[in-house]
Structure 1
Amino acid sequence: MRRILRLMLTAAGPYAPQFRRTLRISVAASLVQAAAYASFVPLLAELTHEPVDTGRAWLWTGVLAVLVVVEGALRVRELGFTYGYWHLVTEATRLRLGERLRAIPQQELARRAAGDLTSVVGANATAAATAVSTLSTLFVQLVTVPVVLGLMVVLLDWRLGLVLAAAVGAALPLVRRVQRSSNAGFHAVDEADARTASRIVEYVQGQPVFRATGQSGAGSPRLKEVLAHQHHIQSAANRSAAVPLAAAQLLVRLALVALVAVGAALVLDARLSPGLLVAVVVTAARFAEPLSMAAVMTKLFEMSEAALARVDEVLRLPSLPVEPGGTEPKGFELRFEQVTFGYDGQERPTLREFDLTVPERGLTALVGPSGSGKTTVTRLMARYADPQHGTVRLGGTDLRTLEPDELLRHIAVVFQDVYLLDDTIRANIAMARPDATDEEVEAAARAANVHEFVDRLPQRYGTRVGEIGSALSGGERQRISIARAILKDAPVVLLDEPTAALDSESELVVQQAVERLVAGRTVVVIAHRLSTVVGADQIVVVEEGRVTQRGTHTELLAEPDGRYARMWAAQRTARRWQLPASSARGAVQRPGESGGGRPSAASNSTG
Structure 2
Amino acid sequence: MNNKKVSSLKESYETTINIAGKNANLVKRSFLYFILAYVFQGLAFALFFPLLNNIFTSEFSIKKSLFWLGAICILSLVSFFFRWLGSGFQYSKDIVQITHDLRIKLGEKIKTMPLQNLYKYRTGELNSILAQNVDESILHMGIVSGMFFEVLIVPIVIILATFFIDPSMALALLIAIPFAIPVYYWSRKKTKWDKTEGIKAHAKLEADTIEYIQGLPILRAVNQVGENAQNLQKSITNLREVQKKGVFASTLPMIIMNTLIEFLFLFVLVLGTIYITNEEFSIGALIALLIILGRLSEPLANFLAVTGVLDIMEASFKHIRKLLDVKEFFIKEQKQKPKKFNINFENVDFAYEGNTKNSLESLNLKIKDNSLTAIVGPSGSGKTTITKLIMRYDDPQKGLIKIGDVDIRSMKQTTLMSYISVVFQDVYLFDDTILNNIRMGKPKASDEEVLAASKAAFCHEFVSRLPHGYETKVGEIGGSLSGGERQRISIARAILKDAPIVILDEPTSALDTESEVAVQNALDELIKDKTVIVIAHRLSTIAHADNILVAEDGHIKEHGTHQELFNKKDKYYAMFQAQQRVKEWDVKSSIK
TM bracket (short chain):
over 0.9
Q: State the one-letter code of the partner of 2:146.
A: T
Q: State the one-letter code of the partner of 1:435.
A: K
Q: Matches of 2:108 and 2:564 in 1, distance apart?
A: 48
Q: What is the Cα deviation at residue 130 of structure 1?
A: 1.5
1:568 aligns with 2:582: no
Residue 112 to residue 512, structure 1, CA distance change in 2 (3 Å): same
* Residue 467 (structure 1) aligns with: 476
* Residue 17 (structure 2) aligns with: 9
Q: Matches of 2:70 and 2:175 in 1, distance apart?
A: 35
* Residue 37 (structure 2) aligns with: 29
- Given candidates 526, 538, 541, the residue that maps to 1:529 is 538
* Residue 519 (structure 1) aligns with: 528
Q: Matches of 2:227 and 2:462 in 1, distance apart?
A: 40
The C-alpha deviation readout for 1:23-63, integer Å capped at 9, x for no partner, is 11111212122222223222222222334322222222222
Question: Which shifted more, 130-139 or 383-392?
Answer: 130-139
Q: Matches of 2:438 and 2:25 in 1, distance apart?
A: 41
1:159 aligns with 2:162: no
The C-alpha deviation readout for 1:174-198, integer Å capped at 9, x for no partner, is 1111101111221111111111111
* Residue 562 (structure 2) aligns with: 553
* Residue 505 (structure 2) aligns with: 496
* Residue 280 (structure 2) aligns with: 271
Q: Matches of 2:140 and 2:171 in 1, distance apart?
A: 34
Q: State the one-letter code of the partner of 1:542.
A: A
Residue 397 to residue 342, structure 1, CA distance change in 2 (3 Å): same
- Given candidates 42, 57, 60, the residue that maps to 2:65 is 57
The C-alpha deviation readout for 1:399-443, integer Å capped at 9, x for no partner, is 222211121121111111111111111121122222222222222
* Residue 593 (structure 1) aligns with: none
Question: Which shifted more, 444-453 or 334-343?
Answer: 444-453
Q: Matches of 1:442 and 1:8 in 2, distance apart?
A: 51
The C-alpha deviation readout for 1:158-179, integer Å capped at 9, x for no partner, is 3333333231111111111110
Residue 10 to residue 421, structure 1, CA distance change in 2 (3 Å): farther
Q: State the one-letter code of the partner of 2:186.
A: R
The C-alpha deviation readout for 1:464-499, integer Å capped at 9, x for no partner, is 111111001101111111111112121111111111
1:43 aligns with 2:51: yes
* Residue 446 (structure 1) aligns with: 455
The C-alpha deviation readout for 1:389-408, integer Å capped at 9, x for no partner, is 11111121222222111211
Contact 1:541–1:550 (Cα < 8 Å) also in 2: yes
* Residue 68 (structure 1) aligns with: 76
* Partner SS state of residue 568, structure 2: coil
* Residue 5 (structure 2) aligns with: none
Question: Which shifted more, 260-269 or 547-556?
Answer: 260-269
- Given candidates 415, 436, 442, the residue that maps to 1:427 is 436
* Partner SS state of residue 520, structure 2: helix
The C-alpha deviation readout for 1:219-244, integer Å capped at 9, x for no partner, is 53222222111111221222233323
1:81 aligns with 2:81: no
* Partner SS state of residue 400, structure 1: helix
Q: Matches of 1:142 and 1:280 in 2, distance apart?
A: 17
Q: What is the Cα deviation at residue 336 of structure 1?
A: 0.6
Contact 2:138–2:313 (Cα < 8 Å) also in 1: no
* Partner SS state of residue 458, structure 1: coil
* Partner SS state of residue 123, structure 1: helix
Q: What is the Cα deviation at residue 218 of structure 1?
A: 5.0
Q: Matches of 1:255 and 1:573 in 2, distance apart?
A: 89
Number of corresponding residues:
583
The C-alpha deviation readout for 1:125-149, integer Å capped at 9, x for no partner, is 1212212333233322221212111
Q: What is the Cα deviation at residue 263 of structure 1?
A: 1.6
- Given candidates 121, 144, 150, the residue that maps to 1:112 is 121
> Could you tell me the percent identity over the aligned residues?
36
Q: Matches of 1:433 and 1:37 in 2, distance apart?
A: 67
Contact 1:478–1:510 (Cα < 8 Å) also in 2: yes
- Which stretches in structure 1 are left out of the alignment for 5+ residues? 585-596, 598-607
Residue 576 to residue 153, structure 1, CA distance change in 2 (3 Å): same
Q: Matches of 2:145 and 2:442 in 1, distance apart?
A: 43
Q: What is the Cα deviation at residue 288 of structure 1?
A: 4.3
| Correspondence 1:312-351 to 2 at 5 A | 312-324=321-333, 326-351=335-360
The C-alpha deviation readout for 1:545-596, integer Å capped at 9, x for no partner, is 0001111111111111x11111111122222223887x99xxxxxxxxxxxx
Contact 2:147–2:306 (Cα < 8 Å) also in 1: no
* Residue 507 (structure 1) aligns with: 516
Contact 2:136–2:313 (Cα < 8 Å) also in 1: yes
The C-alpha deviation readout for 1:315-351, integer Å capped at 9, x for no partner, is 2222222233544224211111111111112131111
The C-alpha deviation readout for 1:508-551, integer Å capped at 9, x for no partner, is 11111111111111111101111211111111110110001111
* Residue 594 (structure 1) aligns with: none
1:311 aligns with 2:326: no
Q: Matches of 1:267 and 1:360 in 2, distance apart?
A: 100
Residue 69 to residue 370, structure 1, CA distance change in 2 (3 Å): same
- Given candidates 283, 294, 297, the residue that maps to 2:306 is 297
- Given candidates 196, 211, 216, the residue that maps to 1:207 is 216
1:182 aligns with 2:182: no
* Residue 551 (structure 2) aligns with: 542
Normalising to structure 2: TM-score of the pair? 0.94
* Residue 271 (structure 2) aligns with: 262
Contact 1:11–1:132 (Cα < 8 Å) also in 2: no
Q: State the one-letter code of the partner of 1:434.
A: P
- Given candidates 212, 220, 232, the residue that maps to 1:223 is 232
* Partner SS state of residue 584, structure 2: coil
Contact 1:7–1:312 (Cα < 8 Å) also in 2: no
- Given candidates 151, 161, 179, the residue that maps to 1:170 is 179
* Partner SS state of residue 575, structure 1: helix
- Which stretches in structure 2 are left out of the alignment for 5+ residues? 1-8
Q: Matches of 1:462 and 1:38 in 2, distance apart?
A: 70
Aligned-residue CA RMSD (Å): 1.9
Normalising to structure 1: TM-score of the pair? 0.92
| Correspondence 1:71-150 to 2 at 5 A | 71-84=79-92, 85-150=94-159
